[in-house]
């Protein structure tokens, strides 16, 4: 058995669950890209793939994750996965999804490449399902890592084969999203994903920015604590830079020294922030 997840935190959570149940033993493969944001045109072709890598490289510059672009190779991960399925006819694939657009878009991206393995692919979609948290209360997780390891033993009962209909319909839905090529995607419910404008999360940023400069790390923390629909910090910081270019935010500090040096405030309000040193071209 091979388990597929879409976030590093989910790898750790699933590993702890497997320790409690030997029937779940199997390798865990993480699809690392966040297909909920960024360009998707010709995503399976060389040109589209490179365009997406270049976009991420731009966003990751000056971030704490500058090495990520070199270690994310989902195409290779899928190549190795398909090779394993071909060489081991009894091998099964379990795809784990939380109720969030990151996981669902990762599922769509992957499904298009699994059509030859119908009957061997199962999905576990924790869609609007109740679980027990550490305090003994019922809650509805949106991500796998929010679930206690022992609760995964209940979750595994949700495994079901991906149907022939899904193998036909889901790739078509993903193809539409790729052709639309919106910069942001939003989960409306179930597996229904729709494209949104590039500035979809700007309201979350601007609502937490203040007249006085805040450290970038503190601002990010405040945004994540308040926003209802999550996205990654790298995407949010990119939007902050774009908002600064549009004179809606002001940033202070030297980007070349990393995020920890940066302050952010609403443009034209409060004390004047230090002049931002422009990053080297």
Q: Using one digit for the tens of pLDDT, what is the confidence trace for 132-147?
A: 888 889 989 899 999 8
pLDDT score of 231: 95
pLDDT over 90 percentage in the chain: 74
Q: What is the pLDDT of residues 186-197, one digit of tens each?
A: 999 899 999 999
| Rounded average pLDDT over 172-185 | 96
**CA 73 to CA 31: how far, in whole Å?**
9
**CA 64 to CA 139: how far, in whole Å?**
32
- Kindly report each contact of residues 65-69 with a partner whose C-beta sits within 8 Å and lies 24 or more positions away, as own/partner: 65/234, 68/32
pLDDT score of 154: 81
pLDDT at 107 exceeding the cut of 60: yes
**CA 185 to CA 188: how far, in whole Å?**
10
Q: What is the pLDDT of residues 51-63, one digit of tens each?
A: 999 999 999 989 9
Task: Considering only residues 281 and 204, tell me which one the structure prediction assigns the higher pLDDT.
Answer: 204
Residue among 159, 86, 78 at smallest CA distance from 116: 86
> Residue 172 class from Cβ within 10 Å (0-12 exposed, 13-18 middle, 19+ buried)?
exposed
Q: Which residues contact 150 (CB under 8 A, 6 or more apart)?
A: 17, 20
pLDDT score of 81: 95
The β-bridge relationship of strands 93-98 and 2-5 is: parallel
Task: Considering only residues 214 and 68, tell me which one the structure prediction assigns the higher pLDDT.
Answer: 214
Question: Domains of the chain, with CATH numbers?
Answer: 2-177 (3.40.1360.10), 202-266 (1.10.10)
| C-alpha distances out from residue 186 to 6, 25, 127, 189, 231, Å | 16, 33, 15, 9, 10
Q: What is the pLDDT of residues 223-277, one digit of tens each?
A: 999 999 999 999 999 999 999 999 999 999 999 999 999 999 999 865 444 444 4
**CA 109 to CA 114: how far, in whole Å?**
10
pLDDT at 45 exceeding the cut of 90: yes
pLDDT at 99 exceeding the cut of 50: yes
pLDDT band at 74 (very low <50, low <70, confident <90, very high): very high
pLDDT score of 271: 46
**CA 119 to CA 53: how far, in whole Å?**
33
pLDDT score of 42: 95
pLDDT at 281 exceeding the cut of 60: no
How big, in percent rounded to 5, are the helix, strand and coil portions of the chain? 45, 20, 35
What does residue 41 show for φ and ψ, rounded to 5 degrees? -55, 130
211, 270 contact by CB (below 8 A): yes
Residue among 213, 262, 263, 216 at smallest CA distance from 236: 216
**CA 214 to CA 274: how far, in whole Å?**
12
95, 123 contact by CB (below 8 A): yes
- The distance of Cα 21 from the centroid of its chain, to the nearest Å, equals 27
């Amino acid at each position: 058995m091979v388990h597929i997840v879409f976030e590093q935190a989910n790898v750790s959570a699933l590993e702890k669950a497997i320790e409690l149940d030997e029937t779940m033993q199997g390798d865990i493969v993480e699809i690392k890209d966040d297909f909920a944001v960024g360009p998707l045109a010709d995503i399976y072709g060389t040109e589209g793939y490179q365009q997406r890598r270049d976009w991420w490289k731009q966003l990751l510059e000056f971030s704490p994750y500058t090495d990520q672009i070199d270690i994310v190779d989902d195409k290779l991960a899928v190549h190795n996965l398909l090779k394993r399925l071909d060489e081991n006819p009894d091998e099964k694939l379990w795809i784990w999804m939380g109720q969030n657009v990151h996981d669902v878009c990762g599922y769509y991206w992957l499904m298009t490449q699994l059509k030859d393995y119908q009957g061997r692919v199962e999905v576990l979609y924790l869609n609007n399902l109740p679980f027990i948290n550490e305090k003994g209360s019922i809650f509805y997780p949106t991500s796998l890592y929010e679930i206690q390891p022992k609760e995964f033993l209940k979750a595994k009962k949700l495994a079901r084969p991906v149907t022939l209909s899904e193998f036909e319909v889901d790739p078509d839905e993903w193809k539409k999203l790729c052709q639309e090529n919106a910069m942001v995607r939003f989960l409306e419910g179930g597996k229904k994903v729709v494209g949104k404008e590039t500035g979809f999360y700007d309201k979350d940023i601007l609502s937490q920015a203040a007249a006085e400069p805040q450290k970038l790390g503190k601002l990010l923390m405040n945004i994540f604590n308040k926003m209802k629909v999550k996205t990654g910090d790298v995407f949010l910081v990119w939007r902050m830079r774009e908002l600064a270019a549009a004179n809606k935010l002001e940033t202070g500090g030297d980007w070349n020294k990393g995020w920890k040096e940066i302050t952010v405030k609403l443009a034209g309000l409060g004390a004047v922030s230090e002049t931002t040193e422009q990053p080297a071209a």
